A and B are shown apart, each in its own frame.
Chain A
Amino acid sequence: MSGVWIYADKYEQVFELLTAGRGLADSLGTKLTALVSGDNDTAQDLIARGADEVLLFPPLAEDQPVQDYVPLMADEAREADPDIFLIAASLKGKEMGARIAARLDTALCSECITMNIDDKGKLQMERLMYGGSAIQTVSINSRPQMATIPPRAYEPAQVIDSRQGSVRTLKKPEPSGMKVIDRKGKAQSSGDISAARVIVCAGRGLEKQEDLDLVRELAGVLGAEVACTRPISEEKHWMTEESCIGLSAKEVKPALYLGIGVSGQIQHLVGIREAGIICAVNSDENAPIFESADYGITGDLYKIVPALIEEFKK
């Protein structure tokens, strides 16, 4: 048996994985199967966007966590024996991927950043390790070859009319004994940093919480979102973790990133490695961020930021 399978718990990521999966399926000359929770309209949309087959999960009970799909997904995969199984690296997806891989006795490449098919038809994958300071290349010697894919690594697949495909509805998953007894949405933050074109990032170089106003003013002039490093959200609690950039927080891809008082710990830098232009203002000329920046100013941020605001206003 063969095939490429994809699963994401959120639609945006289903579309991104359709792009990734379609590419792999075409190079292997095999079909693309999407697993998704939804109805027949959902399935037809995914077929129009590149799926050859859709396996539909019936809706869950209100108190059932989405992880209850895990046994079913593993059983279906064991039966169909696909070559490749990609899962979106959302928090839920990362857990589900590891559990499915355990059930299938196969390996999984976590948060894979590049995928290529080699001349033997095997996946060659890259991932970051050691806090983002190293890239490891791996392949997988068992079936299916599994990977979790970070959000926004691929463009969402577009609708192509007249595509045909098949739909199969799966049985309802058994309750696992785990119950969702409450759900809370996120606290509303000012904007979404992961989609921002320009980001001004506040770091530990700020002395007190009020000084964030200075950073916000600069962001206002640049039409930027304000983000922060881990110490600002986790230790000082000046901003929410929604605004935090870095490993185990958000990875961003702005056209311009401007770090204010950001020293540049590797765990933070890994979150901005895809940024177009990286700029930094820091008082320590040896701060590691300067090694990863395109433009840097060494000096007192309390003098430089007001001057930057004036200059950018011109």
Chain B
Amino acid sequence: MPNIVCCFKWVVDEAYIKPSSSGKIDLEWAEYKLSDYDRNAIEEAVRLQEIYGGGVTAVTVASSDATKGIKDALSRGPEKAYFINDDQFENLEPSQTSAILAQVIADQIDYDVIICGEGSSDMYSQQVGPRLAEKLGIPCIAFVNQLSIEDKQIIAERKTDEGMEVISAPMPVLVTVLPDINNPRVPGLKDTLAASKKPVINIELEDLASEYKRLLIDKGLKAASIERNCTHFGAGPEDIKAFVEAIRKTGVIDRG
């Protein structure tokens, strides 16, 4: 029966991100959420467990104030969580997150299948899954939208730019999943109550005895200017005419 590990990230909810007048990004009032794609990763881990048995462990690397995220993740079905946390684990880059995950998973967790979201909904670098596979020296299948286990092999259908590939790989294996792989369940009150009773293994930086160097230098963040000066039209016949005329004047449509 497979030991399944799912990785997740507690992220700023981008719906709360509003550029300030200076064009800076203000995160002071931002709410946090479980990264959208990781909800699919957790759901897929639990779905596989329901079919093939085994266990599901959720793992995150975060700053110490992400405890709400642990509870959220556990309310979605995993039976225990590893909370690798330190105040220095703020804004980690993919090479650091994957190296930390690799060290803890290799040393402390039995795994046959590791499931990550295709990317995180804040940074969306889409690197942690593939990097983690390399650090653990296991096969990686990215952008998967269908998953099963047959004869100790993982069978994954993954999206490519050309269409689809079905891949078989020996376990242990890492997969990253797309949002259309499943519909994540919405935890109920019972699930939330049960989550608080599940074991959480706390790991801090000093337990890891390793250095995780920053390689990517952040030179600043600004609001993406997709704002344009919208000319508004009403819905009356004259407005329609003026709207069409305005578009015609730009010369982008050949002829009416």
Q: Chain A: residues with CB nearer than 8 A to chain B?
A: 10, 65, 67, 90-92, 94-95, 97-99, 101-103, 105-111, 124, 128-142, 176-186, 197-198, 222-223, 234, 241, 247-248, 255-256, 266, 269-270, 273, 276-279, 285, 290-300, 303-304, 307-308, 311-314
Contacts and interface: CB of A to CB of B under 8 A. Distances in A.
A291 B179 CA distance: 28
Contacts of B122: 129-130
Interface residues of B, number: 81
A140 B166 CA distance: 35
Nearest to B143: A91
Closest 7 CB pairs of A and B: A299-B235, A107-B215, A102-B134, A182-B166, A98-B130, A102-B131, A137-B219
B244 A312 contact: yes
Nearest to A10: B161
Taking chain A's interface residues, is the majority helix, strand, or loop, or is none over half, making it mixed? mixed
Contacts of A137: 218-222
Q: Which of A129, A177, A180, A270 has the most CB of B within 10 A?
A: A129
24 contacts: A95-B126, A95-B142, A98-B94, A98-B130, A102-B134, A108-B94, A109-B216, A129-B123, A133-B25, A136-B220, A137-B218, A137-B221, A141-B217, A179-B167, A183-B165, A184-B163, A184-B165, A247-B124, A256-B247, A293-B228, A297-B243, A298-B233, A298-B235, A307-B240
Contact of B14 (A106, A133, A278, A300): A133
A66 B229 CA distance: 45
B252 A311 contact: no
A292 B227 contact: yes
Given A103-B134, A135-B224, A277-B250, 4 more contacts: A111-B124, A131-B17, A181-B166, A248-B118
A241 B227 contact: no
Given A67-B140, A247-B124, A295-B246, A180 B166 contact: yes
A102 B218 contact: no
B125 interface: yes
B214 interface: yes
A107 B92 CA distance: 12
A253 B247 CA distance: 17
A142 B215 contact: yes
A107 B14 CA distance: 24
B2 interface: no
B181 to A, nearest CB: 11
A182 B253 contact: no
A185 B165 CA distance: 9
Given A298-B232, A300-B235, A183 B163 contact: yes
Contacts of A106: 95, 215
B48 interface: no
Interface of B: 12, 14, 17, 19, 25, 93-95, 98, 118-119, 121-127, 129-131, 133-135, 139-143, 155, 158-170, 176, 178-180, 214-224, 226-235, 237, 239-241, 243-244, 246-247, 250, 252-254, 256
B231 A110 contact: no
Contacts of A135: 221-224
B212 to A, nearest CB: 11
Contact of A256 (B94, B140, B252): B252
A268 to B, nearest CB: 11
Contacts of A98: 94, 125-127, 129-131
Given A65-B167, A133-B19, A182-B166, A290 B252 contact: no
B224 A276 contact: no
Nearest to A314: B256
Contact of A297 (B167, B226, B235): B235
Contact of B228 (A102, A186, A294): A294
A99 B132 CA distance: 8
A126 to B, nearest CB: 9
Contacts of A295: 230-231, 233, 243, 246-247
B167 A181 contact: yes
Contacts of A132: 224, 226
B169 A179 contact: yes
A98 B243 CA distance: 46
A65 B144 CA distance: 14
Contacts of A247: 124
B172 to A, nearest CB: 11
A313 B214 CA distance: 58
B159 A91 contact: yes
A256 B250 contact: yes
A116 B239 CA distance: 44
A314 to B, nearest CB: 6
Contacts of B220: 136-137
B17 to A, nearest CB: 5
Contacts of B12: 130
